[in-house]
């Protein structure tokens, strides 16, 4: 097992760092070290390639850091004196080697006070050497990872400082594990390691010989040759281990009349194990060493290994030309002829200069990138430099499939012209300088991949609840807009890319979306805060943090949605087989509330999209801004057009139109019970669309005399005041054992008085403003009615004397079961306390169940038997024992009775967006 990584802590002192390496990886390490407060005193990298320097050198120069470029550090095995003296002149405390391809002399390694740390993309001592990532896949490892080690005079043999491991699936490639784990986590790991060195907590754990491997570098042609005598899984691992470059290679004899007599070199890319039982039909290819011919079919090239295991190949490089495998026997397809604009002509010349700098040759239209000596790192560099040049993100596969310069610039231009998810999305933006950052968001409807104005021209005015100022106006969807969005979603479901891509590809898009949300989490939390009044720190952790977790959770479910086979009676003399298939429903509508705008969107939409549906979503009219920012991120993540549509608007117009629309086949709603009843009627009357409803709550929290009082007070407050009480599972009524009632109330009042009320963007604020004025007014009326009924107002109950919709945390005692405030949901920071006698447990459970709501519940007691009896008898969808508000993306969430039906989160939520088809076969 690798050493446990210590949580990253801020450095207690600044170190003088020398960075020795190259590439965008090293450039990102450079930026992170500066961010952590360290001083980079020198950058040592490779010579310029042509007229372009390494990205590390570029960013160092931009920051005024001395840059040294050496062809070599040694001559005939000895350090070059001038180079050594130049290195010593920067007086570094520590050398950091993030991506270093040169041999660094020990005189340099050992010179600084803290010596040198180096990054390696494997879990040492396994896979020492230059091709460790490739060998991780070739060997079929189920775990990949990275190591930060103290450099010594061996090859990747120095003591371990930090290691991280990650799951490696049978379908991973060099690119996927590098992009998902080794690149982003490696950058962070180096930063953590430097901080540990600075804090004196960096370990030096000697590498053991047990499990150590040294794998040869995969540079020579003979190391790429496929051994067809191996089993299918081993062949798959070998091909995917060489997937980026140089490719697993074999030679076949000419198999058409027009072919020449020389053997044909073929490289294989995009391997996957073939899970189907059937034999694909198509033309055959005879591959020496295989007992069965390979078959060219619509999905690629199907190979049957000699052990019977099948694998499918997506792409082939035939005599240096990359093609889709299914096109092996097809004539060259007609090239796309484009008439270039002046701007596009300029792009072509700029791209030509990038190719020239990478390849260091003159570039003609038929110059082949790989035939000219390019490797996998050059692909990464090309993608990054094109991204810097124009606002598109090419994929590595775009380079492998378009290897000549003309093919390359054609595909790049087509991406800039077409409906590409990678181009800059245009919208009417609001840009603000707030919370020490710049935020930017759209104000229009999002329909069919574009931001557009409402057909009606109507708008919604959004108010910042913390100061009552106008944030902006947002377009409000009409019935016509709903119809457009639903039809776009239907087309995307039936005809678009979403219906054609595999479940695994769908998951990859959702993972990318989660990554983008992670990158924009501070901006999303800030928008959530100014739009809904959420305390920024809570928004960062819960509103946004749990949203990201939800998307990642359901991204992982995409390719694990399965049916079953069922034994049924045979119709003799024939036999029968019955299968079930889980299929997406189609166009789904989602209507979400205002208390957790982004999180409620994510809870519903992530499961909906993971199941393969398309969606039209109406966010709450008072706070739709994070939903609109989310729409922008969907485009950037590559979600195809029409799959996600976001319609800010009123419930009476937009929401009702969704419930009534005949093409919507499922509606998910979170909100009040009264509105849920209206929606259910409309869904039944329109087309009997499937419905899931998460509605109101009056959740009981029962606190017994044997509780942990500190924990009960802390969690009791959180159960009511969390997110300003705007929490569907908030404890609507606390039942406190009479023997501890007075002490509990006293302590709660003391702690409540300590709560800091104020600007939600202030890091010290614990209690922000209510979401909007109408809600705050409702809370005032709620408290006034409680006082009139005879409940004792112990604390709060009024608006805070300051601008904004601030309402004091409130505590009522002496609440009897017949009072209105004991029965109705406040949806605000109002604690309702009643007492009980624990000698009659059934009575308190009867009182707790005496409500039409059944969303959540809680109990505090050290008696396990009592707690479990409570859990069995309470009529609520969620039961918390000695905790509260502890939801998780993997745990189903939903209520009983008039709190609704259906589930969000967990595997159960997928069933809300799937239909089961039964198929019976007689044979």
pLDDT in tens, 553-588: 999 999 999 999 999 988 788 899 999 999 999 999
Nearest residue to 415 via CA among 397, 391, 396: 391
pLDDT value at residue 7: 54
Q: Point out the least confidently predicted range of 81-85, 381-385, 773-777.
A: 381-385
Mean pLDDT of 724-745: 97
Confirm whether residue 655 is marked as ligand binding.
Answer: yes
pLDDT value at residue 811: 98
Q: Phi and psi for 762 in degrees, rounded to 5?
A: -75, 130
Q: In the structure, what pLDDT confidence band is assigned to residue 416 with cuts at 50, 70 and 90?
A: low
Q: Using N-to-C axis directions, what is the helix angle for 841-849 and 864-873, rounded to 10°?
A: 40
Confirm whether residue 144 is marked as ligand binding.
Answer: no
Residues 6+ apart with CB under 8 A from 116: 20, 94, 95, 96, 97, 104, 108, 109, 110, 150, 151
Query: Is 772 part of the annotated catalytic residue set?
Result: no
Q: Is residue 1's pLDDT more than 60?
A: no
Q: Is residue 837's pLDDT more than 70?
A: yes
Calculate what percentage of the chain has a pLDDT beyond 90. 73
Nearest residue to 876 via CA among 731, 771, 738: 731
* Alpha carbon distances (Å) from 249 to 267, 305, 327, 408, 862: 4, 16, 18, 24, 66
Q: Is residue 920's pLDDT more than 80?
A: yes
Mean pLDDT of 355-359: 85
Mean pLDDT of 542-560: 97
Of the residues 53, 100, 120, 707, which is catalytic? 120
Confirm whether residue 558 is marked as ligand binding.
Answer: no
Of the residues 407, 528, 694, 737, which is catalytic? 694
* β-bridge mates for residue 46, sequence order: none
Mean pLDDT of 353-363: 86
- Number of alpha carbons in the 13 Å side-chain half-sphere of residue 629: 26
- Residue 584, token pair as written in the block: 């997406």
Q: Point out the least confidently predicted range of 69-83, 618-632, 765-779, 815-829.
A: 69-83
Confirm whether residue 827 is marked as ligand binding.
Answer: yes
DSSP for residue 541 = I
Confirm whether residue 103 is marked as ligand binding.
Answer: yes
Q: Point out the least confidently predicted range of 326-340, 444-458, 496-510, 592-606.
A: 326-340
Handedness of CA 478, 481, 485, 487 (dihedral sign): positive
Dump pLDDT digits (tens) for 579-627.
999 999 999 999 999 999 999 999 999 999 999 999 999 999 999 999 9
Confirm whether residue 165 is marked as ligand binding.
Answer: no
pLDDT value at residue 337: 44
pLDDT value at residue 262: 72
CA 102 – CA 402 distance, rounded (Å):
31
Q: Is residue 497's pLDDT more than 70?
A: yes
Dump pLDDT digits (tens) for 855-880.
999 999 999 999 999 999 999 999 99
CA angle 611, 614, 620 (to 5 degrees): 110
CA 913 – CA 604 distance, rounded (Å):
9
Dump pLDDT digits (tens) for 139-186.
999 999 999 999 999 889 999 999 999 999 998 998 889 988 999 999
- Residue 148, token pair as written in the block: 């930060």
Nearest residue to 884 via CA among 639, 705, 667, 719: 719
Q: Which residues of 559-591 are buried (b: 16+ CB within 10 A; e: fewer)?
A: bebeeeeeeeeeeeeeeeeeeeebebbbbbbbb
CB 621 within 8 A of CB 650: yes
Q: Point out the least confidently predicted range of 124-128, 364-368, 708-712, 881-885.
A: 364-368
Q: Is residue 899's pLDDT more than 60?
A: yes
Of the residues 472, 558, 634, 728, which is catalytic? 728
CB 502 within 8 A of CB 558: no
Count Cβ atoms below 10 Å from residue 499 Cβ, excluding itself. Answer: 15
171 versus 548: the higher-pLDDT residue is: 548
pLDDT value at residue 415: 67
DSSP for residue 222 = G
* β-bridge mates for residue 579, sequence order: 565, 919
Q: Specify burial of residue 754 (Cβ count, 10 A radius: 0-12, 13-18, 19+).
A: exposed
Calculate what percentage of the chain has a pLDDT beyond 70. 95
Query: Is 570 part of the annotated catalytic residue set?
Result: no
Q: Point out the least confidently predicted range of 218-232, 449-463, 577-591, 783-797.
A: 218-232
3-state secondary structure 245-259: CCCEEEEECCCCCCC
Q: Is residue 6's pLDDT more than 60?
A: no
Q: In the structure, what pLDDT confidence band is assigned to residue 365 with cuts at 50, 70 and 90?
A: confident
Tell me the average pLDDT of the chain: 91
CA 569 – CA 573 distance, rounded (Å):
11
Confirm whether residue 894 is marked as ligand binding.
Answer: no
Confirm whether residue 156 is marked as ligand binding.
Answer: yes
Helix H or strand E encompassing 19:
strand 16-20
Hey, is 361 helix, strand or coil? coil
Count Cβ atoms below 10 Å from residue 382 Cβ, excluding itself. Answer: 23
Confirm whether residue 710 is marked as ligand binding.
Answer: no
pTM summary value: 0.60
Count Cβ atoms below 10 Å from residue 2 Cβ, excluding itself. Answer: 17
Confirm whether residue 68 is marked as ligand binding.
Answer: no
Mean pLDDT of 62-80: 93
Confirm whether residue 654 is marked as ligand binding.
Answer: yes
Mean pLDDT of 789-795: 97
Dihedral through CA 408, CA 414, CA 419, CA 425, nearest 10? 80
Count Cβ atoms below 10 Å from residue 224 Cβ, excluding itself. Answer: 17
pLDDT value at residue 330: 63
Q: Phi and psi for 553 in degrees, rounded to 5?
A: -60, -50
Dump pLDDT digits (tens) for 658-709.
999 999 999 999 999 999 999 999 999 999 999 999 999 999 999 999 999 9
CA 193 – CA 159 distance, rounded (Å):
13
CB 898 within 8 A of CB 877: no
Confirm whether residue 223 is marked as ligand binding.
Answer: no
Dump pLDDT digits (tens) for 300-334.
899 999 999 999 998 888 877 778 888 787 644 33
Q: In the structure, what pLDDT confidence band is assigned to residue 907 with cuts at 50, 70 and 90?
A: very high
CA 482 – CA 645 distance, rounded (Å):
9
- Residue 386, token pair as written in the block: 């094109």
Nearest residue to 586 via CA among 641, 471, 663: 663
Query: Is 523 part of the annotated catalytic residue set?
Result: no
Confirm whether residue 634 is marked as ligand binding.
Answer: no
- Residue 160, token pair as written in the block: 């371990």
Chain centroid to CA 102: 35
Confirm whether residue 164 is marked as ligand binding.
Answer: no
CA 577 – CA 579 distance, rounded (Å):
7
Q: Is residue 474's pLDDT more than 90?
A: yes
Helices (H), 790-839: 820-823
Residues 6+ apart with CB under 8 A from 757: 765, 766, 767, 768, 800, 806, 808, 809
């Amino acid at each position: 097992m690798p050493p446990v990584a210590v949580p990253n802590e801020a450095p207690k002192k600044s170190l003088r760092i020398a960075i020795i390496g190259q590439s965008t990886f090293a450039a990102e390490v450079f930026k992170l070290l500066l961010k952590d407060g360290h001083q980079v005193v020198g950058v040592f990298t490779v010579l310029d390639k042509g007229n372009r320097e390494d990205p590390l050198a570029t960013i160092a120069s931009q920051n005024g850091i001395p840059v040294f470029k050496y062809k070599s550090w040694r001559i005939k095995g000895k350090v070059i004196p001038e180079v050594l003296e130049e290195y010593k002149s920067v007086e570094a405390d520590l050398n950091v080697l993030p991506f270093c391809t040169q041999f660094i002399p020990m005189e340099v390694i050992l010179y600084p006070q803290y010596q040198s740390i180096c990054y390696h993309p494997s879990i040492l001592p396994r896979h020492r050497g230059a091709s460790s990532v490739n060998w991780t896949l070739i060997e079929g490892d189920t775990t990949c990872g990275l190591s930060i080690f103290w450099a010594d005079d061996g090859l990747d043999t120095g003591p371990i400082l930090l290691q991280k491991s990650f799951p490696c699936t049978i379908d991973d490639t060099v690119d996927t594990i590098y992009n998902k784990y080794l690149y982003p986590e490696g950058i962070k790991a180096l930063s953590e390691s430097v901080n540990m060195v600075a804090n004196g907590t960096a370990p030096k754990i000697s590498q053991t010989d047990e499990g150590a491997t040294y794998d040869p570098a995969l540079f020579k042609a003979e190391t790429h040759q496929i051994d067809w005598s191996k089993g299918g899984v081993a062949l798959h691992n070998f091909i995917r281990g060489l997937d980026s470059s140089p490719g697993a290679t074999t030679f076949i004899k000419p198999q058409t009349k027009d072919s020449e007599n020389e053997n044909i070199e073929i490289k294989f890319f995009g391997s996957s194990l073939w899970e189907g039982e059937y034999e694909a039909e198509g033309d055959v290819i005879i591959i020496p060493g295989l007992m069965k011919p390979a078959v060219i079919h619509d999905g690629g090239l199907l190979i049957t290994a000699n052990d019977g295991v099948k694998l499918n190949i997506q792409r082939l490089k035939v005599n240096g030309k990359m093609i889709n495998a299914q096109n092996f026997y097809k004539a060259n397809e007609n090239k796309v002829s484009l008439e270039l604009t002046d701007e596009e002509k300029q792009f072509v010349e700029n791209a030509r200069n990038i190719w020239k700098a990478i390849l260091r040759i003159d570039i003609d239209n038929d110059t082949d990138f790989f035939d000219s000596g390019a490797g996998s790192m050059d692909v990464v560099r090309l993608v990054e430099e094109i991204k810097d040049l124009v606002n598109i993100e090419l994929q590595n596969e775009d380079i492998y499939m378009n290897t000549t310069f003309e093919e390359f610039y054609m595909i790049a231009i087509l991406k800039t012209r077409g409906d590409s998810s990678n181009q800059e999305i245009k919208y009417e933006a609001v840009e603000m300088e707030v919370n020490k950052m710049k935020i930017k968001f759209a104000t229009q409807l999002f329909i069919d991949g574009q931001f557009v104005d409402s057909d009606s021209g109507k708008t919604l005015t959004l108010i910042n609840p913390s100061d009552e100022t106008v944030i902006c106006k947002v377009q409000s969807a009409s019935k016509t807009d709903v119809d457009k969005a639903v039809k776009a979603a239907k087309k995307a479901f039936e005809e678009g890319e979403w219906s054609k891509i595999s479940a695994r590809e769908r998951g990859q898009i959702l993972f990318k979306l989660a990554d983008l949300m992670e990158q924009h989490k501070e901006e999303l939390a800030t928008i959530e805060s100014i739009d809904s009044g959420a305390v920024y720190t809570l928004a960062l952790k819960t509103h946004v943090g749990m949203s990201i977790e939800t998307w990642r959770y359901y991204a992982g479910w995409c390719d694990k949605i399965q049916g079953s086979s069922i034994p049924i009676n045979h119709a003799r003399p024939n036999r029968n087989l019955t299968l079930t298939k889980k299929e997406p429903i189609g166009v789904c509508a989602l209507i979400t509330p205002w208390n957790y705008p982004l999180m409620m969107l994510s809870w519903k939409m992530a499961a909906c999209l993971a199941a393969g549906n398309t969606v039209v979503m109406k966010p709450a009219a008072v706070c739709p801004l994070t939903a609109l920012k989310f729409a922008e991120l969907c485009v950037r993540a590559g979600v195809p057009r029409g799959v996600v549509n976001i319609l800010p608007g009123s419930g009476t117009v937009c929401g009702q139109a969704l419930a009534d629309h005949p093409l919507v086949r499922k509606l998910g709603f979170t909100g009040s019970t009264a509105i849920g009843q209206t929606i259910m009627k409309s869904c039944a009357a329109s087309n009997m669309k499937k419905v899931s409803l998460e509605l109101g709550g009056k959740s009981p929290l029962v606190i017994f005399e044997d509780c942990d009082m500190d924990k009960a007070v802390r969690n009791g407050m959180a159960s009511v005041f969390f997110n300003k009480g705007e929490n569907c599972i908030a404890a609507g009524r606390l039942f406190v054992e009479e023997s501890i009632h007075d002490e509990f109330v006293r302590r709660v009042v003391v702690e409540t008085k300590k709560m800091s009320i104020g600007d939600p963007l202030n890091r010290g604020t614990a209690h922000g403003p209510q979401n909007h004025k109408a809600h705050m007014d409702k809370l005032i009326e709620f408290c006034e009615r409680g006082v009139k009924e005879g409940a004792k107002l112990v604390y709060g109950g009024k608006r805070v004397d300051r601008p904004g919709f601030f309402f004091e945390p409130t505590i009522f005692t002496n609440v009897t079961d017949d009072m209105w405030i004991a029965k109705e949901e406040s949806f605000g920071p109002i604690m309702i306390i009643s007492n009980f006698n624990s000698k009659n447990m059934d009575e308190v459970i009867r009182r707790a169940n005496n409500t039409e709501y059944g969303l959540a519940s809680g109990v505090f007691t050290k008696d396990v038997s009592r707690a479990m009896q409570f859990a069995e008898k309470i009529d609520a969808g969620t039961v918390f024992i000695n905790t509260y508000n502890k939801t998780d993306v993997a745990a189903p969430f939903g209520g009983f009775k008039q709190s609704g039906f259906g589930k969000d989160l967990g595997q159960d939520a997928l069933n809300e967006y799937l239909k089961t088809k039964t198929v019976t076969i007689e044979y």
